[in-house]
């Protein structure tokens, strides 16, 4: 099995193929601004505008677990969501 320690961790949003759920991967920072190596993985319900709007849950995970989850979701047809483009298009 390939080691994932040297891969940059996930950062940003993924949305499911049915546009019902979005997951935000957020690397936790230390007080000095450096990455702690841990992540918050937040699940959001999505409204018809494809914006994550309703917070559902938070899971804390290590970098390795976050990378595994990110890859599993991408393999299950989740796609990256650019909220900045949605905000500017509104």
Ordered by start, the domain boundaries in the chain are 12-89
> What would the mean pLDDT of 71-85 be, rounded to a whole number?
87
Name the pTM for this structure. Answer: 0.76
What was the pLDDT predicted at 41? Answer: 96
Percent of the chain with pLDDT over 90: 53
Look at the block and give the residue holding tokens 């935000």. Answer: 24
pLDDT, the chain, mean: 82
Provide the residue count of the chain: 90
Q: Which of 14, 15, 12, 6 is nearest to 27 (CA)?
A: 12
Give bridge partners of residue 53 from the DSSP assignment.
none
């Amino acid at each position: 099995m390939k080691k994932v320690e040297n891969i940059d961790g996930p950062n940003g949003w993924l949305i499911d193929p049915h546009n019902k759920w979005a997951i935000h991967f957020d690397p936790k920072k230390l007080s000095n601004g450096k990455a702690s190596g841990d992540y918050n993985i937040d699940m959001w319900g999505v409204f018809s505008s494809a914006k994550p709007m309703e917070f559902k849950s938070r899971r804390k995970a290590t970098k390795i677990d976050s990378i595994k989850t990110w890859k599993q979701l991408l393999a299950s047809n989740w796609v990256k969501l650019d909220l900045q483009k949605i905000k500017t298009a509104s």
